Amino acid sequence: MKNKELIERFIRYAEVDTQSSEESATSPSTMKQHDLAKMLASELTEMGVKDVDYDEEYCYLYAGIPGDPELPALGFISHMDTSPAVSGAGVKPRILENYDGKDFLLKPEEFPELAHHIGEDLIATDGTTLLGADDKAGVAEIMNLAQHCMKNPDEHRRTIRIAFTPDEEIGCGTDHFDIERFAAKEGYTVDGGKLGELEYENFNAASANIRISGRSVHPGDAKNLMVNAVLVGMELNALLPPAERPEHTEKYEGFYFLEEMDGTVDGALMKYLIRDHDRQLFEKRKETMQKAVDFINARYGEGTAAAEIRDQYYNMAGLMASHMELIDRAVEKMKKLGIKPSVVPIRGGTDGASLTYRGLPCPNLCTGGYNYHGRYEYASIQEMEKAAELLIELAGA
């Protein structure tokens, strides 16, 4: 382990429960996200960073480290929250030194990517929670950059601007992001996965909440009367293309994802994610969802199904076309460090997509984490160390 302090930081952050909530109407969605924000603000201050700006209302943390005033400031952004999909409470990170493929949780036959990590040191959970590498690996790597800058004040570098955001996992990470406070006109989100991956294309994204209204009567008297909302919901789902689900798609292929379903005979709620890199196909997917709702209403009566379809974010690829120097520079620095660059589309989204649409171009950098949003999540220590080195290289003049 070359950078023990980096790994200790990550483990410390991972143990803080910062899970966001889609059910909340507040911002941030959970007050516990402030716990990590306060910790990071304190650590930055202890390092000697003078410009630490903690938004106590909305849980954003901004910081700045001066560099050459003749050069444009460069920003680095990561999010503090973890996914609502799996519990983030009581996370117990464990280090698998010299991983041999025989771990009780991480098995190459189930996750083939693990075969590439044989002999590396991995950080995983005890199997009861997610790990939080998404995106506390990025947070730790940015904090490592801040520490490096403070320990090496004579290095010639750009002014560094840092931001840590809440609620990225529920699509609200930039709702109250203050670009003027951030004070950089370009940057990177540090929120990717496999070492070498560099991303400036992402999904167009929408959520779709489908409410099904049924009619509950005694099953003994149900003939021609009962409308079982759960079964109607299953019928609606069957109207969507079965091959266009996350488990059957890759690369630029979009999907419909039934993320959650809850209901009884009397009523049901289905929560979908709609994704596609192509904007026209994205719009068609939303139309397909609405047509499925219309079909159900034509069959069972108007008002049986109701759809609330909401756009979440859009593909930043078109806007990034005039800022490709950020990509070229990252590729150059990766090659210098012996990292093989891989420019790939994000099968998801980042805060950077929204910020790019607001005039702050932000492609996405790798962190060394894998299997996000689940109890099989892990991070490679060797890849995290390289990702941390990459940020230091990018900060240089």
Per residue in 111-165, pLDDT tens?
A: 999 999 999 999 999 999 999 999 999 999 999 999 999 999 999 999 999 999 9
Residues 85 and 63 sit within 8 Å (Cβ to Cβ) = no
CA distance 286 to 386: 40
Q: Is 127 left (phi over 0), alpha (psi -120 to 50) or beta?
A: left
User: Active site residue: 168, 199, 276, 377, which one?
Assistant: 168
Place of tokens 């490592």: 144
Known active-site residue 55: no
Known active-site residue 168: yes
CATH number of the 204-313 domain: 3.30.70.360
State the number of CA atoms in the 13 A half-sphere of 55 facing the CB.
Answer: 20
4-202+315-395 and 204-313, same CATH topology: no
Assigned CATH class of 4-202+315-395: alpha beta
User: Active site residue: 17, 55, 81, 169, which one?
Assistant: 81
Task: Spell out the domain ranges in the chain.
Answer: 4-202+315-395, 204-313
Strand order across the 267-276 sheet: 255-263, 267-276, 204-213, 305-313
pLDDT for residue 55: 98
pTM higher than 0.85, yes or no? yes
| Interval 176-210: pLDDT, tens | 999 999 999 999 999 999 999 999 999 999 999 99
Joined together, the tokens standing for residue 385 give 């160390």
CA distance 88 to 184: 32
